[in-house]
């Protein structure tokens, strides 16, 4: 099941976040308020997903967990940059 979840997360982290919210209590455990998860869902979905997965109740995120969250942030920033570049190429070629 974990490999299937990882495959879906690679394709669409927002889909996996929705599945985690619907079928587990992982997101409510990781985020004290719903706003944190909601903002993360729209702005940085990979980092939000990785944070929710490495969060441990009573301990939070420690050590190597922060490396995994940073990796999620890098994935988010790179996907935003790829979208920006694709939009710029469409404008340059005249296809809007």
As a whole number of angstroms, the distance between CA 82 and CA 94 comes to: 18
Residues near 69 by beta carbon (within 8 Å), at least 6 away in sequence: 47, 50, 51, 54, 61
* Residue 2's pLDDT band (cuts 50, 70, 90): low
- Domain range list for the chain: 2-93
Q: How many other C-beta atoms lie within 10 A of the C-beta of residue 66? A: 14
d(CA 29, CA 2): 19
pTM for the whole structure: 0.81
Q: What is the pLDDT of residue 5?
A: 67
pLDDT, tens digit (0-9, with 9 covering 90-100), for 60-95: 889 999 999 999 999 999 988 888 888 888 888 877
């Amino acid at each position: 099941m974990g490999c299937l979840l990882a495959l879906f997360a690679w394709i669409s982290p927002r889909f996996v976040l929705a599945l985690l919210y619907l079928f587990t209590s992982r997101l409510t455990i990781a985020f004290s308020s719903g706003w944190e998860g909601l903002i993360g869902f729209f702005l940085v979905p990979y980092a939000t997903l990785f944070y929710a997965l490495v969060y441990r109740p009573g301990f939070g995120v420690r050590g190597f967990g922060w490396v995994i969250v940073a990796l999620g942030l890098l994935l988010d920033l790179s996907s935003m940059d790829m979208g920006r570049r694709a939009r710029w190429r469409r404008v340059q070629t005249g296809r809007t």
